[in-house]
Amino acid sequence: MDQLLEVLRDMKPGTLIDENSQLIEGGILDSLDVMNLSVELNDEFDIEITPLDILPENFATPTTIYNMIKKLQEED
């Protein structure tokens, strides 16, 4: 989770982000940010986020993103 939070904070410097931050509803991430984040997460966590994974519920909070990452790592 710490690694994910670091990636998010690097994307949005000066924004307070914790495990429960509302990323989409709170306006922290927009659709372009989600696409850029997906690419970053693919590299950082050695996973493959497909278009089918890019759903608002998967990117709602850092916790939901972390759960998606763990699921994708288990599938690999």
pLDDT of residue 38: 98
Helix pair angle (31-45, 2-11), 10° resolution: 140
31-75, pLDDT tens digit by residue? 999 999 999 999 999 999 999 999 999 999 999 999 999 999 999
pLDDT of residue 15: 96
- Side-chain-side CA neighbours of 58 within 13 Å: the count stands at 18
Q: What is the pLDDT of residue 76?
A: 73
CA distance 30 to 24: 7
Measured CA to CA, the distance from residue 16 to residue 28 in angstroms comes to 10
In this prediction the pTM is: 0.95
In this predicted structure, what is the pLDDT of residue 30? 96
Would you state the CATH architecture of domain 2-75?
Answer: Orthogonal Bundle (1.10)
What is the domain partition of the chain in residue ranges? 2-75
